[in-house]
Amino acid sequence: MNQINPFYIIVLSIVIVVFLFFKISNLENSLNEAKKSFQETKKVAFELKAYKNAFKKTKQNFKREIANKYWIKKNNIILNYIPNGVNIKANKLNLDILNKLSSRIFNGVYKIKSFNIQTKDNKTASLEMSLQW
């Protein structure tokens, strides 16, 4: 009676092996899900980095693409720079110039805080706009 039956030892070892097999398969599934999640997070991180780089240079892009153009100075468009953006004002602005300016701003990566256009007649308009970076 003091001896352990070898059959019990074999059954116990089989139960332990089966238990470990199921645990390992669950861990493999968890690992695969974690890898997929990591890959998705990595893609989002690269996208966010691209957006950060795009908005980081917004001020320089604005000065290069819009503020330094000759038609801005020629048509008396007033650019008032503030620490986190720029205010744009223009009176008696030709509609073609207004179209050119607004298309450049809308096609850029600028955050428009306020935008107000009032037409004076069929050829001129006034503009008040505020952009933030």
Give 40-59 pLDDT, tens digit per residue: 999 999 998 887 777 666 66
**Helices of type H across 57-119:** 58-62, 70-74, 95-106
Burial class (CB in 10 A: 0-12, 13-18, 19+), 108: middle
Among candidates 70, 77, 116, which has minimal Cα distance to 94? Answer: 77
Instruction: Please give the pLDDT value at position 79.
Output: 81
3-state SS, residue 56: helix
State how far the Cα of 5 lies from the Cα of 47, in Å rounded to an integer. Answer: 64
Contact 116, 131 (CB under 8 A): no
Q: What percent of the chain has pLDDT over 70?
A: 86
CA angle, 133 as apex, 91 and 45 as ends, to 5°?
150
Range of the domain at 37: 1-56
Look at the chain and report how many structural domains it folds into: 2
Same domain, 125 and 64: yes
Instruction: Please give the pLDDT value at position 21.
Output: 92
Same domain, 88 and 113: yes
Instruction: Please give the pLDDT value at position 109.
Output: 72
State how far the Cα of 56 lies from the Cα of 54, in Å rounded to an integer. Answer: 6
Same domain, 84 and 108: yes
Identify the residue with better confidence: 69 or 125. 125
Same domain, 62 and 85: yes
Mean pLDDT, rounded, for 94-107 = 82
